[in-house]
Structure 1
Amino acid sequence: MDFSLSPEVEALRLRIRGFVDQRLIPLEADRASYDEHDNIQPPLLQAVRAEAKAAGLWALQMPKHRGGGGLKVAEMAPCYEEMNRSIFGPVVFNSAAPDDGNMIVLEKVATEVQKTRWLQPIVDGAVQSSFAMTEPDGCGSDPSLTYTKAERRGDTWVITGRKHYITGAGNAKHFILIARTSDDERKGLTAFLFHADQPGWRVVRRIPIMGPEEHGGHCELAFEGLEIPDENRLMGIGDGLKLTQIRLGTARLTHCMRWTGLAKRSLEIAMEYASRRESFGTRLIEKESVQGLLGQAAMEIEMSRLLTMKAAWVIDQGGFARNEVSMAKIVASEALHKAVDTALQLLGARGYSKDTVVEWMYRYARQARLVDGASEVHRMVIANALRREGAEFFAWGKPAHG
């Protein structure tokens, strides 16, 4: 594996870094930039999105013919990392969850007609999207526990059931829905597309969370006879679990890419403060205990970057990288928490206040160990693969389990 970037990707990375430094980080210091849920104000978002699009920094994960950047997965990693040096970055560049994962999976599996109707408006930034899978009494990390039903009546599917913690659902117009179409263990789920304006469903509530939260929040949804034409089914009947696996693999990895950027930014803030703050006769940065904290956090960030890039490389080679993604997800989420916690500790009361973005990062970082599969679930996935594969688990080159 070669970690050097091509001249084109390196130039792109530097352009993103410049945009983040010059346009986005200054906005973080102005409370007028935030909405009531601690995210960037929608009118301001539209303005800086237009600037990012004009600068050619838009939807880099999408093919060029769709208006994107056409990057491979391993090329996305350094760019996403730079984007999330700002807490506003990913959404500005149209590379934030859940739109990011939804765009990637639709580009992979949707028909050309479906791409024109359902994908392109997301790529253009004209609509937000949502992925409705998690349920109050069932599906979380285990999609097989899906109880929302899709019953076929001629050329129409009728949906009944409930979903919750559906990211962005309050603002989304385009939805991907996972529902049960049979009791088959592996082929019992099917994926569908629906529009927010269709009758037969509703947002029950926007669930209050520790925050900060994405535009549209995390919502509970009720399906009370939503009718979806069969033409809006994604993939085949019974392919819902397969679609979920396709989507979540890369989506988890793009989380890791973004988290490394946020973790690096937290250390930048901590290093700047520790380099000028004096205590008991010396600057903080000179104290061995402080150096230990910073060194440990930096090491864990680098570990997460290496695992993320390996997983990206496997995907670019045509593999699924299930184990590699699980490893990256665990390490990157915990490295983010470690780095932000270190920054907050070194900044003291300043870090706990809203005078810096560190407290925002701290609240955000705690969810990283939960979203898209808790760390414990991913450790179980890795352990089961080790049991199956034995010594081959550690094979060099592209893994067999890739």
Structure 2
Amino acid sequence: MDFTIPPRIEDFRARIARFVEDHVLPLESDRSAYDAHGNIALEPLDRLRAMAQAEGLWCLQLRPETGGQGLGRMGMAVCYEEMNRSIFGPAVFNSAAPDDGNMMVLEQAGTEDQKARWLQPIVQGKVRSAFAMTEPHPGSGSDPSMMLTRAERRGDRYVIHGRKWFITGAEEAAHFILLARTSDDPRTGLTAFLHHRDAPGWRIDRRIDIMGPEEHGGHCEITYDGLEVPVEDVLIGEGQGLRMTQMRLGPARLTHCMRWLGLAKRSVEIAQDYAARREGFGVRLADRESVQVKLGDLSMQIEIGRLLVMKAAWELDRGGFARREVSMAKVHVANVLHKAVDTAIQINGARGYSCDTVLEWIYRYARQARLVDGADEVHQMVLNREMTKAGRDFWRWGVA
């Protein structure tokens, strides 16, 4: 097993690290650089995005013919981790959710016409996008078979009615990927549609207030009340919506983990820096065994997360689905992120709980990690099902 990375990947990682250090991190202490919802404001974001594009650090996850650098999942793991040393990083490099996952699935599954119309504007940074799947009770959440939004074909168009909620980025999105039911078949009953924000027949009912901070465009509740979508804007084909979600959600869950590792490492970095300077009762915090044990444990847990992410990335790069690998990474890294920032706040004391550092931002953000893209318990049930089915072969090494 070779755990080294190619020189080309290391070059991208080092350049991203310098860019984040020089241009992105300084904005975190400038309150004017934040928008009303706790994310980077659009003016500094657009300026940094132009710089990232000029330096060839843009859309690294996509193929060169699409406008990216073709790093593959393993290269992405290295670079995304470095991007998210800053809370603003992924958006600067056009590698933030939900655009990230939407671009990858459109690149993989879209027709040439769909790539030109729906993908390229996102790649070029001209528009943002959203993925409309989750529904309020009793509709679908982690279980897509519960989907209630329906699409009825009428000639060369589909007419769509239903409700969605917690749709990330919807308020600022121009391009939407929408999941709706076209039949009651358990495997081929769902279809993916592409629609523009200017199309009539849908509306945003509210931007849902959350613990925050929020992605650009928030998390919205949407009503579809007669949206019409032409047949040429069906993604993959009628009845292939479940397949499309599998193509999109697995890699998207893993890219979340890649980014979360960057935030976990940043939390440890802030804790280490403060512990090295802060004294109490004549002893530096860094010299206290209790602090050393906490930080030493985090170093191990973060490294376990990195290995789980890299194994899943390797499996995806070689053409596998990496379902169990992604689930393991998702559960472990989400919990590590929460533990890392919680520990960092504890070491920093009142300073960590204040807005003098980004720890409180990361802490609020981290709590959603155990919910988005499948709650911990859902992935754990899936893993148990896989283990029960496979028996001892669940842990079998693949043979070259």
Confirm or deny a common fold (TM above 0.5). yes
1:397 to partner: Cα distance: 2.2
User: Which residue is 1:76 aligned to?
Assistant: 76
Aligned counterparts, 1:3-402, within 5 A: 3-137=3-137, 138-397=139-398
Q: Distance in 1 between matches of 2:274 and 2:73?
A: 34
Q: Distance in 1 between matches of 2:252 and 2:180?
A: 20
1:398 to partner: Cα distance: 6.8
Q: Distance in 2 between matches of 1:126 and 1:289?
A: 50
Aligned residue-pair number? 399
SS in 2 for 1:18: helix
TM-score if structure 1 supplies the norm length?
Answer: 0.98
CA RMSD after TM alignment? 0.9
1:144 to partner: Cα distance: 1.0
SS in 2 for 1:226: strand
TM-score if structure 2 supplies the norm length?
Answer: 0.99
SS in 2 for 1:191: strand
Q: Distance in 2 between matches of 1:225 and 1:161?
A: 9
CA gap 1:398/1:196 in 2 versus in 1, 3 angstroms: farther
Q: Distance in 2 between matches of 1:16 and 1:76?
A: 12
Q: Distance in 1 between matches of 2:102 and 2:133?
A: 12
Q: Distance in 2 between matches of 1:285 and 1:69?
A: 41
Q: Distance in 2 between matches of 1:261 and 1:247?
A: 22
Q: Deviations over 1:375-402 (max 9, x none)?
A: 0000001000001111111111279xxx
Is the contact made by 2:162 and 2:224 (CA closer than 8 Å) also made in structure 1?
yes
Spell out structure 1 runs of 4+ moving beyond 4 A: none
More deviation in 384-393 or 158-167? 384-393
Q: Distance in 2 between matches of 1:246 and 1:386?
A: 22
Is the contact made by 2:66 and 2:107 (CA closer than 8 Å) also made in structure 1?
no
SS in 1 for 2:356: coil
Q: Distance in 2 between matches of 1:357 and 1:133?
A: 31
Is the contact made by 1:298 and 1:339 (CA closer than 8 Å) also made in structure 2?
no
1:91 to partner: Cα distance: 0.4
Is the contact made by 1:314 and 1:398 (CA closer than 8 Å) also made in structure 2?
no
SS in 2 for 1:16: helix
Q: Distance in 2 between matches of 1:90 and 1:283?
A: 35
SS in 2 for 1:66: coil
What is the identity percentage for the equivalent residue pairs of Structure 1 and Structure 2? 64
Q: Distance in 2 between matches of 1:296 and 1:16?
A: 27
Q: Deviations over 1:160-215 (max 9, x none)?
A: 00000000000000000000000111111000000000000000000000000000
Q: Distance in 2 between matches of 1:67 and 1:192?
A: 24
Q: Which amino acid aligns with 1:15?
A: R
Please, which runs of 5 or more residues in structure 1 have no aligned partner?
A: none
Q: Distance in 2 between matches of 1:281 and 1:313?
A: 48
CA gap 1:398/1:240 in 2 versus in 1, 3 angstroms: farther
Is the contact made by 1:163 and 1:222 (CA closer than 8 Å) also made in structure 2?
yes
More deviation in 389-398 or 199-208? 389-398
1:292 to partner: Cα distance: 1.1
Q: Distance in 2 between matches of 1:361 and 1:15?
A: 24
Q: Which amino acid aligns with 2:256?
A: H
